[in-house]
């Protein structure tokens, strides 16, 4: 239990609970479905299953360059006793015959295997086969890759370079995808200044905006999200309410950065209390404890810390998994590798802790992972100079130097 005055965070929810609550709100967003050309669907979320319209391959075909044969003709073949076969160009072959074929070429009728080019010697109109082949050797059978009517890609899949070719190969030129999720971003704080030609020097207590660009950069890596920026709003409740209302009118979700604290000038609390309802206020995670969510004008609003690293944790630890759960996204998880920790990494009781880290190649064994140990939720270097992160779960006391730990790689 935590109490910090009237605006204080009275009780922190776990990361898991925050994700669950936010997912339930995000799941209420209705995204229209549109049909687009397959290549234009890269990065979009598939709205319905893709079912194969044809067999692939559509016929038995050679998997190598060589000679189509009847496999039983080669069973006794060896380097010292090669099988001798007559070369023909007919569309069908029988025992004692062979026909030249290239990779991908249909298998002639009567053939049931292909001898590789390097395993034969051409002598006039005949070949000498030095290596036996079994029935089906070096042959791609009809429907071996996939069969007509088979579900190839499930709804909810984020389409990437691995999925698009198989959709084309199955006979589809268009697919049904959800329209992009529209997310508006608003920065809160009179102290925040946008960089520009007139801001070469800052007054005392003023800071260049960076947190909004953490959020925008994070969101714009996701092709199924359309992220829009609405600028900086000063510490004025009326102006903040107006900014958020305008952003909500044009978007499915709004993300605010800053103003989440208990101070008199931190106005997110007042905004939610007067205009909406809390989904949760505060999460038991480090950094990013002030991360909160609300519903205003019937739409979800995610409230992130004004400190850049804490804002990233709110996105990575809460928003993204909630989005995965709400939209049923598939193939959208971090790659995890296991590495040896280079130093002790303690955890704070009751919290889930996110520690930025650098993964490097080990010598003759596991890779090494170096935690970024400078403290502070506003440290931009911890993002700029690392390539991964370590997650210490609630209830964990931490890790010791030399422990092998899961490391989450930054996704592109």
312-323 pLDDT, tens digit each: 999 999 999 999
What CATH number did the domain enclosing 210 receive?
3.40.980.10
Shared domain for 52 and 78, answered yes or no, is no
In a domain, 7, yes or no: no
CB neighbour class for 165 (10 Å; exposed up to 12, middle 13-18, buried from 19): exposed
Q: Which residue has the tokens 């009275």?
A: 10
Q: What per-residue confidence (pLDDT) applies to 374?
A: 67
What CATH number did the domain enclosing 136 receive?
2.170.190.11
Shared domain for 27 and 92, answered yes or no, is no
In a domain, 3, yes or no: no
In a domain, 173, yes or no: yes
Backbone φ/ψ region at 148: left (φ over 0), alpha (ψ -120 to 50), beta: beta
In a domain, 387, yes or no: yes
In a domain, 25, yes or no: yes
Nearest-CA neighbor of 292 among 7, 3, 18?
18
Shared domain for 344 and 323, answered yes or no, is no
| Residue 16 φ then ψ, to 5° | -60, -40
- Cα separation, 21 vs 277, whole angstroms: 13
Shared domain for 170 and 134, answered yes or no, is no
Segments forming the whole domain that contains residue 355: 336-409
Q: Is the pLDDT of residue 2 over 60?
A: no
In a domain, 6, yes or no: no
Strand order in the sheet with 120-123: 113-116, 66-69, 97-101, 83-87, 126-129, 120-123
Shared domain for 285 and 203, answered yes or no, is yes
| Residue 389 near residue 407, CB atoms below 8 Å | yes
| Residue 324 near residue 225, CB atoms below 8 Å | no
Which pLDDT band holds residue 205 (cuts at 50, 70, 90)? confident
Shared domain for 247 and 346, answered yes or no, is no
Mean pLDDT along residues 169-182: 97
Shared domain for 166 and 189, answered yes or no, is no
Structural domain total, the chain: 4
- Cα separation, 108 vs 124, whole angstroms: 21
Mean pLDDT along residues 162-184: 97
What CATH number did the domain enclosing 403 receive?
2.40.340.10
């Amino acid at each position: 239990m935590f109490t910090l005055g009237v605006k204080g965070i009275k009780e922190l929810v776990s990361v898991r609970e925050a994700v669950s609550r936010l997912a339930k709100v995000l799941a209420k967003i209705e995204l229209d479905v549109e049909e687009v050309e397959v290549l234009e669907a890269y990065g979009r979320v598939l709205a319905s299953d893709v079912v194969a319209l044809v067999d692939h391959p559509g016929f038995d075909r050679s998997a190598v360059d060589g000679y189509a044969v009847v496999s039983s003709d080669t069973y006794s073949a060896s380097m010292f006793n090669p099988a001798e076969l007559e070369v023909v160009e007919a569309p069908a072959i029988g025992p004692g015959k062979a026909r030249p074929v290239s990779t991908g070429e249909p298998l002639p009728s009567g053939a049931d295997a292909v001898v590789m080019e390097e395993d034969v010697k051409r002598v006039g109109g005949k070949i000498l086969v030095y290596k036996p082949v079994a029935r089906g050797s070096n042959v791609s059978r009809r429907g071996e890759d996939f069969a007509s009517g088979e579900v190839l890609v499930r709804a909810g899949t984020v389409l990437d370079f691995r999925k698009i070719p198989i959709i084309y190969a199955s006979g589809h030129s268009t697919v049904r995808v959800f329209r992009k999720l529209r997310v508006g971003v608003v920065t809160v704080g009179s102290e925040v200044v946008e960089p520009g030609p007139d801001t070469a020097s800052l007054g005392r207590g003023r800071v260049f905006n960076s947190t909004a660009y953490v959020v925008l950069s994070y969101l714009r890596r996701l092709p199924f999200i359309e992220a829009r920026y609405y600028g900086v709003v000063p510490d004025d409740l009326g102006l903040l309410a107006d900014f958020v209302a305008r952003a909500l009118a044009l978007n499915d979700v709004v993300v605010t950065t800053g103003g989440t604290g208990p101070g008199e000038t931190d106005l997110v609390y007042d905004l939610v209390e007067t205009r909406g309802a809390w989904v949760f206020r505060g999460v038991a995670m480090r950094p990013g404890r002030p991360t909160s969510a609300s519903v205003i004008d019937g739409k979800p609003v995610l409230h992130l810390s004004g400190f850049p690293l804490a804002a990233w944790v709110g996105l990575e630890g809460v928003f993204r998994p909630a989005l995965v759960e709400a939209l049923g996204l598939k193939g959208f998880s971090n790659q995890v590798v296991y590495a040896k920790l280079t130093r002790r990494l303690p955890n704070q009781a009751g919290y889930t802790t996110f520690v930025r880290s650098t993964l490097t190649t080990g010598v003759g064994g596991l890779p090494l992972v170096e935690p970024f140990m400078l403290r502070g939720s506003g440290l931009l270097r911890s993002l700029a100079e690392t390539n991964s992160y370590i997650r210490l779960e609630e209830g964990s006391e931490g890790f010791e130097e030399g422990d092998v730990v899961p490391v989450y790689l930054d996704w592109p």
